[in-house]
Structure 1
């Protein structure tokens, strides 16, 4: 499956075939670019490495910062001033862009450091990136979990250089630069050096070994060599006083004789960085191919945890790449937290929970449960240290930096993990923090008034109380369970009973239509509030554009008038916006899974593709890609309720490797998309579930317990070309069912 991955998907502005049918009625206001990068990564590893252009937002590519429509280009073609480490993946304005420790192979004087050269013959695969610069230097990069290895092959020259710039950080855009606060660099003898730069309060240490025959090494400052110097120390650096600094290795370049740069990283000092390097690379030389092979083996293991059969080559490529993008973030640095001294997992680039809690974390729980448990353990520790469960967490202190987006999202993952008995978490201690976190930020007002604005936080907090009630009841804390359960029912205060939609309020990236179809814990009562099944379906139909005409997407620099008109459509934003991710499955609760099938089929067909422009918007650290993986399998996780909703899959057969063995989704009646004489996939037919069995027993409802998936088994779906009665009467569970004698989540 690794061979099917294309790391370049999503690296350029969206370039998809013009949408047809239902998808043509959707409107995409947010930036139309995936914001991924093709650099070398390891599955959920700490380090990434890629060519550095300084462009927004990963440091790779050609685009400037934008918030609407098609992004502006900063450069005419791909270029790089070197190769940096630690990149975001698929984010937008995350305000921390890393790109630390730039390595630049040069055949020009040190004065030219910072110049950019065109990139030619770029290639990438999981764990590997390569390109040739205009200077005819061939550059290759691979990474391990905490290491990066560069290999440069120079043309015939008497003066080749490898320059390390430890002052580099951030992007080449306004307010995008990250300036080190303090720094230390030390040359330690032939081919060895180490240094620490403190970036936004985080001490990033690197230990490096450069294997080059008969080369000199020197420190440099402000592009001037320091002959005979062995140390540089900067106790205080400011924007106005920063001058670039680092190390230089210089000597003759001979064709076919590579120079290898090995780098170990740590957030706990140079000694641990050296240990990380030696543990992953050993002492043999060269090590590039061995590190690459081990990382590729790790990728093979992770990518084979989801297998699909059938489909066109293009769809298999998109699916494999979506799974790959889903497994880049979060980053795990075991025993590396710079903020607490004890051993254990440290997870960062949880960017942000608002993006990933619905899709990506449930995917990790299914196919990488140990890492999912490590993530939750790390989040609990962050809450201990900083007083908040993070809505977004980067390699820096500040768990509350994304609080405007949402509230209490970690509670959903904790509730699911407890239901699944995932990991060895101290659940009594976790519950203490779940309760305490619900009283922070907007939580106090919610407890006092039963409603808060922005109104979406009312939904978040009510849902957080529901998740807390489930864990508290399971642990025997009846008082907390009853108290949280009562508050969980206050979600109703967020809705206008006249319109059946959310009340007027401020909304973060969206409007009340985008947020009004969340999969609440009491969808039965939510649908009743809207006027019943028919009225709710009518609202959904309007939102998804059934019966509407095509719309024009925002182009480059859209006018305010154009944007106001687009927002006035109150339309599904076609996965270009996170709040819309779960909305297609709201139909399940109104007995119309056929509508879900039509929307998901349109989204899979028209919103994703091969090529650099194959994503409809920000990949959001893998949240969007994880949506594609689940949708392709015919499943959707309802985060916080330990449920999966069932839909027609995109493949005839698929397999999830889970702790309980394998969970297989198999079909009869599946029809592949037709392929034209030109080899291009045509519009796949919409397929509807006619009947279902789980492990040979009839499945009348459109949902599974999460345990059914995690324990392994076989879901068999009979598909057909027309809607059927399946799923119309047996609905997924709601909190109201407990009062009416029905099933409970």
Structure 2
């Protein structure tokens, strides 16, 4: 399960909106919580109790699922609030979601960066209503509920109201405008109307004292009557929420749905239009377009909305997590959404300044170290890449201060003292972060600092057992020793030497990817820990359903076997992705997995932190990437169209291999390009064929030594 949702979103925007069933993990769908194997069903149908705002995208056990401010169109009494109705005739487009409830109400939602607009078409009824529930939050699973700590709601009359709920330390404000001529406007508490009341205040709410509350609009509806609810959101109070609403939707009294939908559609067209592909089957183009779309949903970037520092500037949340996105998604954003990419990094620097460390994951709440077990110091990699591209908008001297300070936090202190730390994967992270920080320091002419950082960066070797060529025994986060052992370190030549040379390293990779091995039995419904442990004990590639070995197929490049990369990547693109439910091999992880698909399909792969792209046979005959101000074209000769295997192909289509390459008309004998070359623009031509060639066997990608 990819754990995505079909709701309305805006590119990297703050607000999303979707039908809400309470199912894991986004609040939409039918399934119970699962991170391994086949999920159990919570419901036997697609259903919704209303439409909520702020959803995760593709995450696993993130433990913060939002779904705030539920809006429910009803033709039942208020006592029925919380019941679910079956969804029919669902439609999902970029920036738009629609469905019809069993009650006969047609529901449509669109969003802007900081707003949502709901449009409901009612059947004839003498007592129709739209109910806004400000108490809603989280999921209908064990320990999945989010309860407001404090709240305030005020009815302003004339179809206007506002409210603020404090959720996990964050004050979320909403300003509501309702286009409901002749309808009454009231507040409610514990499913009872408050006649004549204009304000509700809750100074302290606990799980045991929570009763639902909110506002509603009700009246008689003629058949086909349309009601529009406009909502502006802010993390800095209802006045700013109102300003956001007016900025994106216009003044009260003017229908805004079509205007907002059109603007968001245009934003999506602008963003996804920065990558164009030609050729390929319809199914493959559909998967590619969907992957590109999923790559542009998160993180959320909200200008001037930080609830934690008072100054203006970008505030990025739902960085869920750097472990998921630093290898694939952030390099993609650097190419096709460079301004927002800079905003994300600027926000991470500000979080480090305000909270004391760069976050591995950052949700709409304080607690930047919440995901520290996953990895260490990954922001350094993204910052080094941005610095190498000479990105404007970042004070690099100030950034370097925080990069250096952060290296000593959490596991970094033990690394500083001993040169090795457990979990052993953090040794790789910290050594790589030292290397990346050294690059920034050297460019700023702090040679002494750079030399010291580079020396510590070489301690990545301490993570490996020279007797096996693999990582040392340790604890591993969501994976095993083999999954993490083929990371692309800064000195792959030395890494291959540590494994015993090219042949030995290739043999290890072949074993890892299952060449000549029996098929692996996939885990079933809710597998027990013993079953998962037995799977990890196979020491096999996880097939892209987790992050640790996402870049492992490209390790072959440094051993002179790009043909092996072509085979593994081709198999993954062909057999692990499809157009239907279950069309992703695992959690999409906020776009990290989808970004992998985009790069792999283009025949490029970014080596995060090394200002480097690796070349492989692409999935399309021609592609154009608008990277910054340049246009980078990947074109092929001899390209063969390949269907997607999970969509009905009953044989294994062979991979294609690069026979030769040219860059801007000049012969290219290496399997890599600098990131600067890609971002500057140019034309890469790849001649493809059905058999491996000698291309790329001699000239390897660069290594530190």
> Paired residue for 2:349, among 380, 403, 419?
380
> Paired residue for 1:479, among 438, 448, 451?
448
Contact (CA 8 Å) 1:673, 1:681: kept in 2 or not? Answer: no
Name the structure 1 match of 2:605.
636
Name the structure 1 match of 2:664.
695
Name the structure 1 match of 2:193.
225
Cα deviation 1:131-152 (Å, max 9, x = unaligned): 0001111100000010000000
> Paired residue for 1:348, among 311, 314, 317?
317
- For 1:274-423, list aligned pairs within 5 A: 274-283=242-251, 285-423=254-392
1:252 counterpart = 2:220: yes
Cα deviation 1:534-588 (Å, max 9, x = unaligned): 0000000000000011121011022444323222210001001111110000000
**Quick one: distance in 2 between partners of 1:488 and 1:39?**
43
Aligned partner of residue 580 in structure 1, secondary structure: coil
**Quick one: distance in 2 between partners of 1:451 and 1:716?**
43
1:655 counterpart = 2:624: yes
Contact (CA 8 Å) 1:312, 1:681: kept in 2 or not? Answer: no
Aligned partner of residue 667 in structure 1, secondary structure: strand
Residue 612 (structure 1) shift? 2.1
Q: Which has the higher contact order (CA 8 A, sep 6+)?
A: 1
Residue 674 (structure 1) shift? 6.0
**Quick one: distance in 2 between partners of 1:249 and 1:318?**
41
> Paired residue for 1:552, among 483, 502, 521?
521
Name the structure 2 match of 1:91.
59
For structure 1, the 5+ residue unaligned runs are 1-32, 737-745
Contact (CA 8 Å) 2:471, 2:485: kept in 1 or not? Answer: yes
For structure 2, the 5+ residue unaligned runs are none
Name the structure 2 match of 1:21.
none
1:196 counterpart = 2:164: yes
Residue 658 (structure 1) shift? 1.7
Aligned partner of residue 486 in structure 2, secondary structure: coil
Residue 257 (structure 1) shift? 1.7
Residue 665 (structure 1) shift? 0.3
**Quick one: distance in 1 between partners of 2:592 and 2:432?**
20
Residue 422 (structure 1) shift? 1.1
1:427 counterpart = 2:365: no
1:454 counterpart = 2:426: no
4+ runs of 1 displaced by more than 3 Å? 678-685
1:589 counterpart = 2:589: no
Name the structure 2 match of 1:266.
234
1:605 counterpart = 2:596: no
TM-score for both structures, normalised by structure 2:
0.99
> Paired residue for 1:70, among 38, 53, 59?
38
Contact (CA 8 Å) 2:188, 2:215: kept in 1 or not? Answer: yes
Name the structure 2 match of 1:505.
474
**Quick one: distance in 2 between partners of 1:158 and 1:210?**
19
Number of corresponding residues: 703
- For 1:114-129, list aligned pairs within 5 A: 114-129=82-97
Contact (CA 8 Å) 1:102, 1:165: kept in 2 or not? Answer: yes
Contact (CA 8 Å) 1:675, 1:682: kept in 2 or not? Answer: no
**Quick one: distance in 2 between partners of 1:338 and 1:37?**
27
> Paired residue for 1:573, among 510, 521, 542?
542
Contact (CA 8 Å) 1:370, 1:423: kept in 2 or not? Answer: no
Structure 1 residues 396, 555: closer, same or farther in 2, change over 3 A? same
Residue 68 (structure 1) shift? 1.8
Cα deviation 1:445-467 (Å, max 9, x = unaligned): 00100000000000000000000
Structure 1 residues 675, 596: closer, same or farther in 2, change over 3 A? closer
Aligned partner of residue 157 in structure 2, secondary structure: coil
1:519 counterpart = 2:499: no
1:35 counterpart = 2:21: no
**Quick one: distance in 2 between partners of 1:561 and 1:471?**
45
Aligned partner of residue 258 in structure 1, secondary structure: strand
Aligned partner of residue 145 in structure 1, secondary structure: coil
Aligned partner of residue 240 in structure 1, secondary structure: coil
**Quick one: distance in 1 between partners of 2:517 and 2:14?**
46
